[in-house]
Structure 1
Amino acid sequence: MTRIAVVGGHGQIARLLHPQLLAAGHEPVALVRREEQAEALRAEGVTTRHLDIEADDEAGFAAAFEGCGAVVFAAGGGADGDIERKRTVDLQGSTKSIVGARDAGVRRFVQISAIGVDDPLPADTQDVWRAYVEAKRDADLALRESGLDWTILRPGRLTDDPATGRVALGVDVERGEVTRADVAAVVAAALDDDRTIGRQWNLVGGELDVPAAIDEALSSER
C-alpha cells in the first residue's frame, strides 16, 4: 500500500480518483481547504488533511505530504474569469507541490495538465485563457526540471460522461474529448506503472483500454 497525497483533493477528477486508489490497495490522502469538504470525503472512507493551496507555503505543502509515497497534482483554479487564480493555483500550487514533495522526501509525482499548452497562442487569445495555458505550461516545465519521478498527463476537453475505459495516450495524440472518470483511471494506472516515469502524454478518448493505451504510448516512443 502507498499513501498518495492528492492536491485539489475535493476536485472533480480527484473525487473519481480516490475510489480507484482505494480499490488498488492504496490510501488516498485528499488535501482540502474546507472542513465540510473533509467531512464529505471521510464519509467515503478517504483520509483527509488540510491544505490551502493559495495561502500555505512550501513548508506547509511538505507537512501535508509527510508519510506519503506519491503526490498527484489535480488542482485547478476553475473555469471562471479570475486570472490571478490561474497563477496562484495552477502554477504556484504546482511549484509549491514540487518543492514540498522534494522537502518531504517524496519522489513520485503525477500532474494533470491540459492538452496543447506548449502550442503558440493566437494574438487575439482572451486574457483568462492565456493565463490558464501559460500557468499549465510553466507548471509542466517546472516539474520536468524538478528531478522528481514525474508523469505529466495532458487531457483534452473534459466531460462528465460515464467512464468508457477506452483512451488514447501519446506525445502526438490529437485534441479530443475525454471523460474525467477516464482521466482518473489513467492517473491511477500511471502511479502503479514505473514505465510512465519521465513521460508527458496527451490523453483523449480512444479505442484501447488503459493498460493497452499505456503500452501503445510507450512503444510509439521507442
Structure 2
Amino acid sequence: MTRIAVIGAHGLVGQNIINLAYSRGADVTGVIRNADHGEDIVRLGGEVTLVDIESASAEELAEHLRGADAVVFSAGAGPNSGVARKRTVDFGGAVLTADAAKIAGVNRVVQVSAMGVDEPLPADTDEVWAAYVEAKRDADLYLKASGLDWTIIRPGGLTNDEGTGKVRLADKVERGSIPRADVAAIVLAAIDDDRTIGRTWEAISGPDTIEDAIDAALAAIA
C-alpha cells in the first residue's frame, strides 16, 4: 500500500481512512468537491484534489487517479439529502469512480457500501431510505461487473466510538454497529490482502482482529 485515492474524503469514514493510511506511511489523496474542506484533509495527512463527482466526467476524475495503487469509494449524499442525490452521489459517484479507475489504469477498488442492501424493502419504506438502499445496491452491482479488482465492505450502523480493532466479517452478519475507525481499518486491510478481491462482506464489531476476521470469512467460503 503506497498511494491511495479516497473518493468522498471529507465524510467521516473517508477522514478515518486518510488519517489511518497516513499514519501507516501511505501517500493519500483526498478527493472532495468543497474547497473549504481542504484544510481538514491536509490536517489528517492527505493531499487535496478538488473534483465534483456529480458533474465531472470519468476522464476528468481519471486524471487525478493516475499513479494510485488503489481507489476507495466512500462517498455518500448524507442523511439530509433527497432522493435525487442518492442517485447522483451514492450510485452515480460509484459508477464514475469505477469508470475513472479503469481509464487511469488503477485496478484495485474498495467500496464502502451498507449492510442489507440486497434485501427486499417493505412496501411502506420511506422513499429517501429506499433511494439510498437502491443506490448502494446498484453501485455494488456495477462494481462487481466492472472487471476491476474489487472488494465491497458493507458496515452495520456506524458510530464515532474509538476503534477497537475487533470485528466480525461475513457474507451476512446479524444487525449491529461498528466504529467508523474500524471500517477504515478493514478497508486498508482489504487493500493489503489480495485474497479479499472479489469479496463482499458485511462488517460489525466482533471478537476477532481484522486479520483473523478476514481469515475466518475466507474459510467460511472455501
TM range (shorter): over 0.9
Equivalent-residue separation in structure 2 for 1:35 and 1:130 (angstroms): 31
Structure 1 residues 204-215: aligned runs within 5 Å: 204-215=204-215
2:41 is the counterpart of 1:36? no
Matching residue's letter, 2:32: V
Matching residue's letter, 2:71: V
* Greater displacement, 189-198 / 23-32: 23-32
Q: Which residue of 1 aligns with 2:14?
A: 14
Q: Which residue of 2 aligns with 1:183?
A: 183
Contact kept, 8 Å, 1:50 with 1:64, in 2: the verdict is no
1:163 partner SS: coil
Contact kept, 8 Å, 2:28 with 2:45, in 1: the verdict is no
Count of residues in Structure 1 that have an aligned counterpart in Structure 2 = 222
Matching residue's letter, 1:93: G
Structure 1 residues 67-78: aligned runs within 5 Å: 67-78=67-78
* Cα distance, 1:10–1:81 mapped onto 2, change above 3 Å: closer
Q: Which residue of 1 aligns with 2:105?
A: 105
Q: Which residue of 2 aligns with 1:65?
A: 65
Q: Which residue of 2 aligns with 1:153?
A: 153
Equivalent-residue separation in structure 2 for 1:140 and 1:44 (angstroms): 28
Contact kept, 8 Å, 2:73 with 2:112, in 1: the verdict is yes
Matching residue's letter, 2:208: L
Equivalent-residue separation in structure 1 for 2:44 and 2:221 (angstroms): 39
* 1:81 to partner: Cα distance: 4.4
Q: Which residue of 1 aligns with 2:123?
A: 123
Deviations 1:30-71 (A, max 9, x none): 001122211232233311111111111111211121211110
Structure 1's unaligned 5+ residue stretches are none
Contact kept, 8 Å, 1:112 with 1:152, in 2: the verdict is yes
Length-normalised TM-score, structure 2: 0.97
Identical residues among aligned pairs (%):
49
Matching residue's letter, 1:123: A
Equivalent-residue separation in structure 2 for 1:127 and 1:43 (angstroms): 37
Deviations 1:107-150 (A, max 9, x none): 00000000000001101111001100000000000000000000
Deviations 1:84-103 (A, max 9, x none): 11000000000000000000
Matching residue's letter, 1:136: K
Contact kept, 8 Å, 1:76 with 1:89, in 2: the verdict is yes
* 1:172 to partner: Cα distance: 2.1
* Greater displacement, 63-72 / 122-131: 63-72
Equivalent-residue separation in structure 2 for 1:43 and 1:20 (angstroms): 12
